[in-house]
């Protein structure tokens, strides 16, 4: 009958929406690859491309075997029939089955994103075997654990529990993952950059002065950033997961846009006001800062608030980037300023700017009707939950990824030799240069 047709159509639309989002978020992998390639020196291009390709490929196999089961193994409702099903993607029984495959795909693309963030921070000096190790740890265990805590049906930070959220309020408001995805990736990135130490020559031997090490192609960086922005329209709005909430999705898309716009312009303005010429790179990093900042609050804030969140995100990015250099931490892509520090800001911003109506609409009113933004009139409950979320995700990520990078360093597996670093990773480790413009001419002789 018509009623069944409508229910089936709604279910098909849920799948369509998740697939659409998954494809866009997957394409972000291409964006990261190009942004990172353009931001390193030409001699390390193949190294960073290969890491990004493998973040998707290896990531897929890890996510299939252990990542997804740990993260969202409860997706089928943990009935007897579904026990253990998420391992190797066996088929579910019951109501969750219709979106199960599409959900796996969407979440795989998120997991790959989280892993890719690290590759930027450790660029130009990290050994390839070390890369393989931390990717296994991150995609297979560190990140899935955070997802289970923050988005699972039984997670202690989660807003999606059947019972009252453990932390009170709505549980952690982190709609598309300023904390769960970006802080986790950005936190591991920071640990990687710290344990690896700076690239040779990044800080002048005696004075410690920062030496500029510009990437080899602004075009690739700009192309990568545009693709990331494009893909972010899957990352944020499609985090509604179900099709029935397109109003939330549209609001999230607008908030995503305005925060990116605001942060891009603000970061460029900060750069120019610091007596620099208007360069492209600050605008690009500003856009990314705005996108990360709004990932968490995108569905629960007003348009004006998203402009403010982006505006503040630009300063968070700028200050944290300077701070790292002051501390002699070399993060070639500014991956931790963008993803960790703006990720923190995004989690907190939800606790400050979440609009009551939107929050109730998205997170329900059973437990957290009065748990919205502190600056929007609520008491501090939700803001407190957000602070706890930041502390938990940050601590877990720092400690767990710290152990990984410490172990790799202690076993001398973390960093390539100074000679290989100087020669470039492409010629020393990956079979030759990424570019061969001369080869046609050699054949002319």
* Span 334-353, contacts to its own copies by CB under 8 A: none
Using CB under 8 A, which of 250, 319, 391, 410 touches its own copies? 250
Residue 393 near residue 187 (C-beta atoms within 8 A): yes
Per rule CB under 8 A, is residue 431 in the interface with its own copies? yes
Binder among 125, 182, 251, 415 for its own copies (CB under 8 A): 251
Q: What residues numbered 179-208 form the site for its own copies, per CB under 8 A?
A: 200-201
Our CB check for its own copies shows the closer of 234 and 343 to be 234
Query: Is 84 near its own copies (CB under 8 A)?
Result: no
Which residue number, 124 or 331, has a Cβ lying nearer to its own copies? 124
**Which listed residue (74, 77, 101, 141) binds its own copies by CB under 8 A?**
101
- Tokens describing residue 212: 């500029």
Cα 310 from Cα 265, distance rounded (Å): 9
- Output the smallest distance, CB 47 to its own copies, in A: 9
Residue 249 sits in the site that holds its own copies (CB under 8 A): yes
- Cα–Cα dist 297/174, whole Å: 6
Stretch that binds its own copies, among 72-80, 143-151, 184-192, 419-427 (CB under 8 A): 419-427
- Please tell me whether residue 265 binds its own copies under the rule CB under 8 A: yes
Helix axes 45-62, 97-121, angle to 10 degrees: 150
Give CA separation, 187 vs 33, 142, 383, in Å: 19, 11, 21
CB nearer to its own copies: pick between 250 and 319: 250
Rule CB under 8 A: say whether 34 interacts with its own copies.
yes
Q: Is 434 within 8 Å of 45 (Cβ atoms)?
A: yes
CB of 269 closer than 8 Å to CB of 284: no
Instruction: Please count the other Cβ atoms lying within 10 Å of the Cβ belonging to residue 131.
Output: 23
User: Does 437 help bind its own copies (rule: CB under 8 A)?
Assistant: yes
CB of 394 vs its own copies, minimal distance in Å = 30
What's the number of CA atoms in the CB half-sphere (13 Å) around residue 413?
A: 13
Binding mask 208-227 for its own copies (x = CB under 8 A): -----xxxxxxxx-xx-xxx
Q: Please, are residues 39 and 58 in contact by the beta-carbon 8 Å criterion?
A: no
Nearest Cα to 329, choosing from 420, 185, 184, 195? 195
């Amino acid at each position: 009958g018509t009623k069944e047709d409508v229910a089936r159509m709604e279910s098909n639309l849920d799948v369509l929406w998740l697939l659409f989002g998954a494809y866009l978020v997957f394409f972000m992998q291409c964006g990261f690859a190009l942004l990172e390639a353009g931001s390193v020196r030409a001699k390390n291009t193949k190294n960073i491309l290969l890491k990004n390709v493998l973040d998707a490929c290896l990531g897929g196999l890890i996510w299939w075997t252990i990542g997804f089961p740990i993260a969202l193994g409860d997706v089928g409702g943990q009935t007897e029939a579904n026990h253990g099903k998420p391992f190797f993607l066996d088929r579910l029984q019951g109501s969750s089955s219709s979106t199960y495959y599409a959900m796996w795909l969407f979440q795989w693309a998120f997991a790959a994103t989280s892993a890719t963030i690290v590759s930027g921070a450790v660029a130009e000096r990290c050994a390839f075997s070390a890369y393989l190790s931390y990717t296994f740890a991150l995609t297979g265990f560190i990140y899935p654990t955070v997802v289970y805590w923050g988005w699972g049906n039984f997670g202690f930070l989660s807003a999606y529990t059947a019972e009252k959220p453990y932390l009170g309020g709505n549980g952690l408001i982190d709609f598309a993952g300023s904390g769960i995805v970006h802080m986790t990736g950005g936190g591991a990135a920071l640990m990687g950059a710290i344990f690896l130490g700076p690239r040779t020559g990044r800080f002048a031997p005696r004075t410690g002065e920062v030496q500029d090490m510009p990437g080899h192609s602004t075009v690739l960086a700009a192309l990568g950033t545009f693709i990331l922005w494009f893909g972010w329209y899957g990352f944020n709005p499609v985090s509604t997961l179900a099709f029935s909430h397109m109003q939330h999705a549209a609001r999230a898309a607008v908030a995503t846009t305005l925060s990116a716009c605001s942060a891009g312009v603000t970061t460029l303005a900060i750069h120019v006001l610091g007596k620099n010429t208007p360069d492209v790179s600050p605008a690009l990093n500003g856009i990314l800062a705005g996108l990360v900042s709004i990932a968490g609050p995108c569905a629960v804030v007003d348009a004006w608030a998203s402009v403010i969140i982006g505006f503040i995100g630009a300063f968070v990015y700028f200050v944290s980037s300077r701070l790292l250099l002051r501390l002699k931490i070399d993060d070639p892509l500014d991956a931790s300023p963008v993803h960790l520090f703006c990720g923190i800001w995004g989690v907190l911003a939800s606790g400050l700017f979440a609009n009551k109506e939107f929050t109730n609409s998205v997170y329900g009113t059973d437990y957290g009707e009065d748990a919205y933004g502190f600056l929007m009139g609520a008491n501090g409950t939700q803001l407190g939950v957000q602070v706890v979320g930041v502390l938990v995700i940050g601590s877990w990520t720092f400690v767990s990824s710290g152990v990984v990078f410490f172990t790799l360093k202690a076993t001398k597996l973390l960093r390539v030799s100074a000679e290989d670093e100087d020669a470039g990773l492409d010629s020393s480790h990956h079979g030759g240069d990424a570019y061969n413009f001369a080869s046609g001419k050699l054949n002319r002789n």
